[in-house]
Structure 1
Amino acid sequence: MMKLSRIAMTLVLMGLSSQATASSVDGLLMKPARGTPLGVVINNPYENAPLTALVSLHGHNINDVTVKVHARNNGVPIEYPVSDTKVMEDGGVPIFGLYPDHLNTVTIDWTEAGEKKTFDYKILTPDIDMGFGQGMWAKAPITDVHYVADDFKDRLYFLSWNSKDAKNAQIAHNNNTAPGALAWDATPGFFIIDTAGEIRWYLNPYTTHDPEYLNGAGYPMGMNVTKDGDMIWVQGQGWKHMSIMGKMLGDRLLPGDFQDGSHEAIEAANGNYFIRAARKNYRNDKGLLVNSVRDHIIELDKNGKLVDFWDLNQILDNQRDAALLSLDSGAVCLNVDLDKAGHKVSAEDLADAPYGDIPGVGAGRNWAHVNSVDYDAKDDSIVLSSRHQSAVIKIGRDKKVKWILSASEGWSEKYQDKLLTPVDAKGNKLNCSSKGECKDTNFDFTWTQHTAYVVPQKGTITVFDNGDGRYLEQPAIPMAKYSRSVEYKVNDKDMTVQQVWEYGKEELGYEGYSPITSIVKYQEDKDSMMSYYASSGLFGAGGGLGNVKWDDTTGKTKSILVEHRYGETKPAVRIDVDSNQIFKTGYRAQVIKIADMMK
């Protein structure tokens, strides 16, 4: 073998080094598949959304991008434009709406150097994994599409289902009687369906939730869409802000003196965020140091800095027990106990209850249970739903009550002039009892309600009337219960309220009775109302409320999603969603407009 001199070897190595520098060394860098015109296909680019993908740019400068995820079988295709800034934001073409466990066909159209181009990508996805636990019979909630009108077939619905498993936060396990709402921890079950009932997006439960870490645990709730088309939700001791592609834009803790956020995180017209929370180490009226429960509203700026807060113990009457005395003890949101179905508590029980997340009067107990907050830019006020007061309440920036939509029973003299007077369409006062029964009229108050939202386009307010404790009592026949989606017109000047629309009382009856959770929300894009009866069938078919039989139907729930053209009572959409785990209950739904999320 010929031996090279040391000088010759040096020259060879120098030449190789020069050549390598000129051509670059890729090492194990993934290269675009042979024959593809853009970059690499990256599945689940941010690890939070398994049914998303990204086609990287790989040095290409493109614009005018559109994406189409082709339908599977006779399903629904998803097609959307992608702004040039969104392409640069994600570093490629964002792909949303892939089917799980499927080799998806995705067409991308774009312009490059003035030339229009198109290409079909094949993208394989994993099967659904939203977490697995005891008592499951399916990997995800099961959809049943009843009816979808042609002009609603492009709808995408975000659904929220959370469930417990044996990996809940250890700090809660070790302090299961701790005051406050600390023990509330659950595996997130966020997903999006199309109108064929197919799951087209879901949240990775293992990346956004950490049961071994206090600030990573919590019960993911109250997801809303921001004006920029991103997602925001609250989760225990913090709140999260994420893009539809799964890019975490903000993962922040609650301000220092607050804790136990749940139910609502919403971006307001003033650009700030409103979150329902509670207070640490709160001195109650008995001089005791307690953790309050679901009775504070905080306003934060986009950086998470505290702007303002509302202490409802100082604004409302935390001793009012009229609604609490009427609650079904088996369905006290979020605590569900079938052994107590149909039973009520006494005033003594409420006054002597241990401090913690259970019904009771006074700070340190769940006397208010605020489950939604909205902001009214018209007069810089907040509107909230207090489930355990069966009341919708408007409060000003000055922390004074503007009005209360509630039966008058139990409200002290201080609040009597704040109670709205029900009227008919002509403005005539209705004859309503102190317990809220308005005879010879279709008007009704709301009972243990959820989601009181302002509709500025109509000058109204929508509320989901769950219906437990209606007229401050439990009915003799449990099957007489029902829930409603309802719309009211409030006259702030005259202090009157008119009911202008309802759905559910006659149309669904007991089938739609949802004792906890649920939502109704106006949708401007189609001039429609979307409602989600999220916990119907909560006590199972085994005998009904008050006579629960422990059989294979006990603990199964069904959510009923309907959307109506404005003012109509015949749905344009109805999709039922059955639970996949015992005691697993739907929480809320939202309409998702993917074009807004790709701007």
Structure 2
Amino acid sequence: MLKPIIYSTFVVSLFFSIANVSAVPNGMKPMPVPGAPLGYIIHNPYENAPLTALVTLNGHRISDVDVTVHAKDETGVSINYQVDEMRVMNEGGVPIFGLYPAFMNTFTVKWIEDGKQQSHDYKMLTPDIDMGFSESQWAKAPIVEVEHVDADFKDRLYFVNWTNSDGKTSPLAHNNLEAPGAFSWDGKPGFFIIDTAGDIRWYLNPYTTHNSKGFDTAGYAMGMNITADGNMVWVQGQGWKKMSLMGRMIAEHSLPGNFIDASHEGIEGANGNIFIRAAAKDYRRPDGKLVNTIRDQIIEVDQTGKLVDYWDLNRILDPLRDAALLSLDAGAVCLNINADKAGHQTTLEDLKNAPYGDIHGVETGRNWIHVNSIDYDSKDDSIIISSRHQSAVIKIGRDKQVKWILGPAEGWSSKFQDKLLLPVDGKGNKINCTDKGRCRGDDFDFSYTSHTAYLVPQKGTLTVFDNGDGRHLRQPMFANEKYSRAVEYKIDEANMTVAQVWQYGKDELAYEGYSPVTSIVKYQQDKDSMMSYFASAGLFGLGGGYGNLKMDDTTGKVKSILVEHRYGETKPAVRINISSHDMYATGYRAQVIRVNEMLK
């Protein structure tokens, strides 16, 4: 007689579980870890930002999201931000920003679902930093040293941009000696974000956003700015890009057809359009010579990349003015860093015999103006440009007429004499200055080989980073007499005068802060402060590198200085030193990153 078979509850449950799995196989489908109340985690969801992640929703409807990426230890900085419901729906989950590299990160997500407050702690291991490699590289990433941070600035995050050589090199440039002017300047993107403990909390994948083998994908990534909708826009070789902080590429546009070689600046104006510093191809000069121009075109495009307007500076200004060019140190002409020529002052023969291309010299087809920043003044629909090779900041209207010039008077033709701003003191009294810009009886000074000139609408002023090479249109007897400074001016357009409001660097940093190229100063409304980045300080070593000074062992290892001041003060609330990781690589720009505005 057969005995009845008795199935335990466990066996029955197991049977149905197996049957269910067989009916709906999951295979390798990613699943949330046991106990996770939302979905699984996607690392680097858009492949462009390796220190980001996304917590997917798995069908949940959540709101009032709050994220905290916890500090790695007691010396670290936690990052906290809120994400609104539309951003969560747009991303398809909760965006996680600010993870540490090569670390088991802990982050907390809080949210409301069905009227109930919920919270969960997540852990995630991240990869190490890989910002690309080159022959001259001596560290995997720039080395960050925090010197001082006031308590009320501890929450700061700073975006930093470096210009780095590319270990893959660009075959298009190296195999083509006739490559367009700025195209030969190719390098891996050096974008990263640091906190006030000196840790890197975000960086741009150099392999997904740059390809040295393609005409449209090579070129330095430069001039990153934050747009009104909280995204990043920058220029790179033959185009410009717009990307979210999470790394989602929103738009990639080639330059309009008649323009080439975008670098230095891509900035969104108050009118919503993008202003880009570029060059013109196949440009016919008045003498009939056909050239590619160099860093002398300002173009305005809409968000689709369509050309709206352009400013041809060869027609607006004077490509033959050589007063500032003759004062340059030939060892450091922006991207062209040549230590062998350090201390050699450019001569008239140099300018006249320079080959056509991205070489400083007079006439269209050479680097006669080198515009490195643009700002848009919505009050009168004008642009403001900083010109390194004219040592001038210039305002130009939509009608392509010069409104004013901030710079020393020497070399400007009669056409521009009434456009030169006259220096005054704080009481409006005229300051006597020579044509070379040396002023008497006041601390006022013009800016020389400047980088960045930006309006401060909240104060009615203009900030300029005064690099200081060729100060007073000359080279000093000793290299260590040089200095750079962040400076703020007040311009009275009705009376055509300019007064100096504030400066930092001349006395406080002196030669230590001398940055012959690059750099930035920018007002920050949220803390009523000035952020300044002395990006190429120490380019030739603190011991100098020419004259009767001997190069020390720091040669080629740039030590940028990032400072932030409360408005009007000269004692920094923040000072962070950043050493390069590539020989002769220089810092380019820095920006304050406000996560709540960029992930809202």
Q: Name the TM-score class by shorter chain.
A: over 0.9
1:469-499 deviations in Å (ceiling 9; x for gaps): 0000000011000000000000111000000
Does the aligned pair in 2 maintain the 1:179–1:290 contact within 8 Å?
Answer: no
Task: Check if 1:38 corresponds to 2:11.
Answer: no
Query: Would the aligned equivalents of 1:338 and 1:548 in 2 still touch at CA under 8 Å?
Result: no
Match of 1:514 in 2: 515
Alignment of 1:232-247 (within 5 A): 232-247=233-248
Please name the residue that 1:26 is paired with: 26
Structure 1 position 29, deviation (Å):
1.5
Residues 299 and 309 in structure 2, CA contact (< 8 A), matched pair in contact too: yes
Contact 1:38 1:60 (C-alpha < 8 Å) held by counterparts? yes
How far off is 1:282 after superposition? Answer: 0.4
Q: Tell me how far apart the structure 2 counterparts of residues 559 and 417 of structure 1 sit (CA, whole Å).
A: 38
Counterpart residue number, 2:72: 72
Residue 116 of structure 2 is matched in structure 1 by 115
CA distance in 1, matches of 2:301, 2:23: 51
1:509 CA drift (Å)? 0.2
**Alpha-carbon spacing, 1:316–1:78, altered in 2? closer, same or farther (3 Å):** same
Q: Which residue of 1 aligns with 2:494?
A: 493
Give the secondary structure class of the aligned counterpart of 1:339. Answer: helix
Q: CA deviation at 1:587?
A: 0.5
- Are the counterparts in 2 of residues 43 and 54 from structure 1 also a CA contact under 8 Å? yes
In structure 2, runs of 5+ residues without a counterpart are 1-15
* SS of 2:511 mapped into structure 1: helix
TM-superposed CA distance for 1:311, in Å, is 0.2
C-alpha separation in 2, matches of 1:20 and 1:145:
57
1:105 aligns with 2:106: yes
> CA-to-partner distance for each residue in 1:230-266, whole Å, 9 max, x for gaps?
1110000011100000000011101000010000000
Query: 1:156 maps to which residue?
Result: 157
The SS at the match of 2:512 is helix
| SS of residue matched to 1:151 | helix
**Pairs within 5 Å for 1:350-369:** 350-369=351-370
1:414 aligns to 2:422 (yes or no): no
The offset of 1:345, in angstroms, is 2.2
Q: Which moved more, 1:61-70 or 1:173-182?
A: 173-182
Match of 2:457 in 1: 456
| Residue in structure 2 matched with residue 143 of structure 1 by the alignment | 144
In 1, the alpha carbon distance for the partners of 2:44 and 2:346 equals 49
1:287-326 equivalences in 2 (<5 Å): 287-326=288-327
C-alpha spacing 1:80/1:365, structure 2 compared with 1 (3 Å): same
Contact 2:132–2:167 (CA<8 Å) still a contact in 1? no
Matches within 5 A, 1:2-13: none
Contact 1:233 1:240 in 2 (8 A): yes
- Cα deviation, 1:5-31, whole Å, max 9, x if unaligned, reads xxxxxxxxxxx9xx9899654332211
Q: How many Å separate the matches in 2 of 1:100 and 1:184?
A: 29
Give CA deviations for 1:190-213 in whole Å, capped at 9, x if unaligned: 000000010000000110000011
* Number of aligned positions between the proteins: 582
Q: Distance in 2 between matches of 1:581 and 1:546?
A: 25
> Does 1:59 find its partner at 2:59?
yes
- Give the distance between the partners of 1:288 and 1:56, measured in 2 at CA: 59
Note if contact 1:485-1:502 (Cα within 8 Å) is conserved in structure 2: yes
Supply the distance in 1 between the matched residues of 2:152 and 2:90 (Cα, whole angstroms): 32
CA 1:548 to 1:46, structure 2 compared with 1: closer, same or farther past 3 Å?
Answer: farther
Does the alignment pair 1:484 with 2:485?
yes
Which digits, 9 at most, give the CA deviation of each residue in 1:520-577, with x for residues without a partner? 0000011000000000110124553345767642211111000000000101000000
Residues 250-329 of structure 1 aligned to structure 2 (within 5 Å): 250-329=251-330
Give the deviation of 1:309 after TM superposition.
Answer: 0.3
1:58/1:256 CA distance change after superposition, 3 Å:
same
Tell me the amino acid that sits aligned with residue 83 of structure 1.
D
Distance 2:125 2:444 in 1: 53
Partner of 1:404: 405
Secondary structure in 2 aligned to 1:182? helix
Q: What is the correspondence of 1:96-245 to structure 2 with a 5 Å cutoff?
A: 96-245=97-246
> After the TM superposition, which segments of 4 or more aligned residues of structure 1 sit over 6 Å from their partners?
19-23
Q: Which whole-Å CA distance do the structure 2 matches of 1:565 and 1:215 have between them?
A: 42
Task: Pick which of 273-282 and 161-170 moved more.
Answer: 161-170
Query: What SS is found at the alignment partner of 1:536?
Result: coil
Q: CA deviation at 1:181?
A: 1.4
Check whether the contact 2:104–2:123 (CA below 8 A) recurs between aligned residues: yes
Report if aligned partners of 1:179, 1:364 keep a CA contact under 8 Å in 2.
Answer: no
What is the alpha-carbon distance in structure 2 between the residues aligned to residue 485 and residue 302 of structure 1?
32
More displaced stretch, 193-202 vs 350-359: 350-359
Counterpart-to-counterpart distance in 2, 1:541 and 1:480: 12
Aligned amino acid, residue 61 of structure 2:
N
The amino acid across from 1:116 in the alignment is Q
Give the letter for the 1:244 counterpart: L
Shift of 1:350: 1.1
Q: Cα offset for 1:404?
A: 0.1
* 2:531 alignment partner AA: M
Contact 1:285 1:363 in 2 (8 A): no
CA contact (8 A) 2:512 2:542 kept: no
Q: Which amino acid aligns with 1:187?
A: K
Determine the structure 1 residue equivalent to 2:444.
443
Contact kept? 1:343, 1:546, Cα under 8 Å: no
- Deviation string 1:399-453 (CA, Å, 9 cap, x unpaired) is 0000000100000000000000000111111010000000121000000000000
Task: Measure the CA separation in 1 of the matches of 2:210 and 2:385.
Answer: 28
On the 8 A contact 1:104/1:123 being kept in 2, the answer is: yes
| TM-score (norm. length: structure 2) | 0.95
Query: Structure 1, residues 303-351: CA drift from partner, whole Å, max 9, x if none?
Result: 1111000000010011000000000000111101111111122223212
Runs of 5+ consecutive residues of structure 1 not aligned to the other structure: 1-15
Q: Relative to structure 2, which stretch is displaced further, 535-544 or 218-227?
A: 535-544
Q: Structure 2 counterpart of 1:386, which letter?
A: S
In structure 2, how many angstroms separate the alpha carbons of the residues matched to 1:179 and 1:237? 10
Q: How far off its partner does 1:179 sit?
A: 4.7
Q: Counterparts of 1:182 and 1:435 in 2: how far apart (Å)?
A: 34
3-state SS of 1:375 partner: strand
SS in 1 for 2:356: coil
SS in 2 for 1:574: strand
CA distance in 2, matches of 1:543, 1:164: 23
Query: In the alignment, which residue of structure 1 is the partner of 2:469?
Result: 468
The offset of 1:581, in angstroms, is 1.7
TM-superposed CA distance for 1:167, in Å, is 1.5
- The answer to whether the 8 A contact 1:424-1:430 is kept is yes
The amino acid across from 1:146 in the alignment is E
CA distance in 1, matches of 2:516, 2:502: 21
Q: Partners in 2 of 1:250 and 1:567 — Cα distance?
A: 39
Supply the distance in 1 between the matched residues of 2:436 and 2:206 (Cα, whole angstroms).
44
CA–CA separation in structure 1 for the residues paired with 2:348 and 2:526: 47
Task: Look up the match of 2:579.
Answer: 578
Report SS of the residue matched to 1:373.
Answer: strand
Partners of 1:132 and 1:296 lie apart in 2 by 32
Aligned to 2:503: 502
Give the 3 Å change call, closer, same or farther, for CA 546–186 of structure 1 in structure 2: farther
